[in-house]
Structure 1
Amino acid sequence: MSALFINSTLLLIHRPSNASVVVLTVFEGCKDKPEVLLFYFCLQFINLFMGVPANVMVLWLIHKTKGDSSTSDIFILHLAVLDTFFCLIPPLEFANLMYLTADTTWYVLRFFYGVKDSSPLFLSCICMDRYMAVRHPITFTELKDRKHRPVCAAVVWLVTLAYSAAKCVGNIPNFEKAFTVMILAAFVFMVFCNVSILWALRQSGPGRDEMHPVKKRAFKMVLIILAIIVVNYFPPVALFPFQEYFADDVFRCYIHYIAFGFMDISSSIQPVLYLSKVKLAIPSCRNKACCCCTVTGEMQVST
């Protein structure tokens, strides 16, 4: 029996060599545990109805303000493009998991799942930009107008498309371990960058006993971003390395959908967070000669 890969894990769609054997849909295979599928689909349709317009608004806003954009906006833009396409798949995914057993839809879904699997790479680039702005402001200023960011974005897209194409094939042995390594490395890197930024912002200036008000707002913003990263990405990081210790039906019907439900909802949370800060952050950063947090979450320090 061969198994199809979805979201970097083995799921329950099996293709028996005997064509007379009835092939079960995912819902039929997990019909004793429907509550987790319901939870997963609720999050996916939130992505469809909230994530798509939110990401489109982010794209429009970045295009409109491209003359006054921050250094991280190029990564925000590419992440919004990635998330917009991913947020369009819930109708096909719902039909496939509930009713369809055709191989064609699995190829399409696996490709889109591979794209979403790679989204932490763009988030890592954003975190690196913030980290450099706060921890190494001189180097950041020297690199601010360089062309390395488009190059980094192009490299991330090449990795994303290669990973998605490989996942689309669906029969590469132990391919799910590639996702486990990638998400673990990206998670550790993002947490490190944001904790370092928080530590730097927490230090008061010379002769001051309290944090500057603008630094305090930036601190709260980065703390929110760190909390979102942990909520979205800690479940797969904590659970997938121990896949072999779970029973097969528990992992494919419970763990899989819980972990990826939290990860996938980031496609809506991230653009909403961006939009929620745009009106407040831009004027603040223009008027303050201190450390501030722009709508992209990038930390800029002026001396």
Structure 2
Amino acid sequence: MRKLIFFFLVLVLCLSGTLQNKGESEVIEPQKNSEVFARPRTFKGVPVRNANLSLVPNGTQALIPELQSLSNSTVWYLHSTLSTLVIPIIFLLVVVVGIPANIAILCSLATKIRKVSSAIFYCSLAVSDLCLLLSLFFKAHYHFHGNHWVLGEASCRVVTACFYGNLYCSAQTLACISIKRYLAVVHPFLYKRLPKRRLTAWVSLVIWGVFGAAMIPELLVQQSYHLPEVGITTCHDVLPLDYDSHIFLLCYNLFLNIFGLLLPLVVTVLCFIRIICELNQSHFDWEMYIKASSLVFVIFLVCFTPAGVLHFLHYLQLFVHGTERLYVHFKVAVCLCCLHACLDPFLFLLMSKSAGSSLHFRPFTGKTLSISI
């Protein structure tokens, strides 16, 4: 499974690089403006003051804001095979595998609950993955139609908020699972005294509440814009530079990226290293626990790390050079990030197997402490 995942990652990244180089070789570099603007997690566009009336899906006319002065890299991406074929196909494959798997996990949790505190985290993770997978239906439809959004501004805002909000929610939940196992292995006496059911329930509610509230700006800001130069209406891919609301998204999304992806990555890596070191010093066979902890680490390494790092570097490039070339690679990384929705059910299976036995510790008094995780 690991070899297959890494091969798939390398294949898609190589494909994206090849396609991008090909597209850039066919166009002329845009002229650099003397003034550099901060840009959100998108390509840039200049607002058209006198926008025309455009048709919306119900057949009526509505005023859709227009953007112009697109860069050559933006035009290439919007028409490339990468964005109109490769990315939506991956989305659909993730949906086909992920939705049945996560529904099966929820059914299993409803009928066979061995440990309530762990089941709360697994249930939260499965629900978050399902919400993400449902948003992928609409994103695949958008990409297959040439990056043309026909479902209206309200649905664009909801899909965008649901997509990114559940990415952050899943990453935070996986980090909490790592912390829980870290406490059980490294600090068993403290873990034994904790009110685990109440604590995990509150932590899950806080995660959902925080990232539900964190997505409110995405719901309040215009996300879909008509591009007369290419004849399509994009959703979140191209945003204006002159609006204060969209400039605010730059710092805001950068904070969410650090707090929602990079921080959980650091926490998971530290917990993984400490757990492995602790279990390797024991004379017992902890192979199942090591496999479960390793899978959490692999999910972050393969899925969340490229998206988090490229997102951060994308902003740095915008600040330093005022260019947006990393956005294409970021879109590929976000696409790969969705693969975690297919890997999380396997994590539940490994956790369930390891929950059947207990960890045994011998304190200095000679008594044995048994803990199930």
Match of 1:198 among 267, 270, 276: 276
Aligned residues: 276
Q: Which amino acid aligns with 1:235?
A: P
List alignment gaps of at least 5 residues for structure 1: 206-211, 292-299
Q: Is the 8 A contact 2:121 2:204 kept in 1?
A: yes
User: Normalising by structure 1, what TM-score?
Assistant: 0.79
Distance of aligned partners of 1:22 and 1:152 in 2 relative to their CA distance in 1, 3 Å threshold: closer
Greater CA radius of gyration, 1 or 2? 2
Distance of aligned partners of 1:126 and 1:202 in 2 relative to their CA distance in 1, 3 Å threshold: same
| Structure 1 CA distance for aligned equivalents of residues 198 and 83 of structure 2 | 45
SS in 2 for 1:9: coil
Distance of aligned partners of 1:186 and 1:159 in 2 relative to their CA distance in 1, 3 Å threshold: same
Q: Is the 8 A contact 1:37 1:257 kept in 2?
A: no
C-alpha displacement at 1:264, in angstroms? 1.5
- Which residue does the alignment assign to 2:112? 65
The equivalences for 1:173-184 within 5 A come to 173=248, 174=250, 175-182=252-259, 183-184=261-262
Q: Which amino acid aligns with 2:280?
A: R
| Structure 2 CA distance for aligned equivalents of residues 44 and 150 of structure 1 | 31
List alignment gaps of at least 5 residues for structure 2: 1-38, 53-64, 222-244, 362-369
Q: What are the Cα deviations for residues 7-44 of structure 1, in whole angstroms up to 9, with x where unaligned?
A: x7124677533314966999966245422553322332
| Structure 2 CA distance for aligned equivalents of residues 13 and 82 of structure 1 | 32
| Structure 1 CA distance for aligned equivalents of residues 77 and 196 of structure 2 | 52
Distance of aligned partners of 1:22 and 1:289 in 2 relative to their CA distance in 1, 3 Å threshold: closer
SS in 1 for 2:42: strand
The equivalences for 1:126-275 within 5 A come to 126-170=177-221, 171=245, 173=248, 174=250, 175-182=252-259, 183-205=261-283, 212-213=284-285, 215-243=286-314, 244-245=316-317, 248-252=323-327, 254-275=328-349
Q: Percent identity?
A: 18
- Which protein is richer in helix relative to its size? 1
C-alpha displacement at 1:218, in angstroms? 2.2
- Which residue does the alignment assign to 1:45? 92
C-alpha displacement at 1:176, in angstroms? 1.7
| Structure 1 CA distance for aligned equivalents of residues 74 and 111 of structure 2 | 44
Q: Is the 8 A contact 1:115 1:160 kept in 2?
A: yes
Q: Which moved more, 1:220-229 or 1:34-43?
A: 34-43
Distance of aligned partners of 1:277 and 1:72 in 2 relative to their CA distance in 1, 3 Å threshold: closer
Q: Which moved more, 1:81-90 or 1:103-112?
A: 103-112
| Structure 2 CA distance for aligned equivalents of residues 198 and 228 of structure 1 | 17
Q: What are the Cα deviations for residues 123-168 of structure 1, in whole angstroms up to 9, with x where unaligned?
A: 1211111111101111111115551221111111110110122222
| Structure 2 CA distance for aligned equivalents of residues 301 and 100 of structure 1 | 52
- Which residue does the alignment assign to 1:80? 126
Q: Is the 8 A contact 2:360 2:371 kept in 1?
A: yes
Distance of aligned partners of 1:138 and 1:14 in 2 relative to their CA distance in 1, 3 Å threshold: farther
Match of 2:148 among 71, 95, 99: 99
| Structure 2 CA distance for aligned equivalents of residues 162 and 217 of structure 1 | 37
Q: What are the Cα deviations for residues 58-108 of structure 1, in whole angstroms up to 9, with x where unaligned?
A: 111111123x22532211111111111110122321333433264223212
Q: Which amino acid aligns with 2:273?
A: V
Q: Which amino acid aligns with 1:16?
A: V
Distance of aligned partners of 1:89 and 1:15 in 2 relative to their CA distance in 1, 3 Å threshold: farther
Q: Which moved more, 1:216-225 or 1:85-94?
A: 216-225
| Structure 1 CA distance for aligned equivalents of residues 137 and 298 of structure 2 | 30
Q: Which amino acid aligns with 1:169?
A: L
Distance of aligned partners of 1:27 and 1:72 in 2 relative to their CA distance in 1, 3 Å threshold: farther
Structural RMSD (CA): 3.1
- Which residue does the alignment assign to 1:209? none
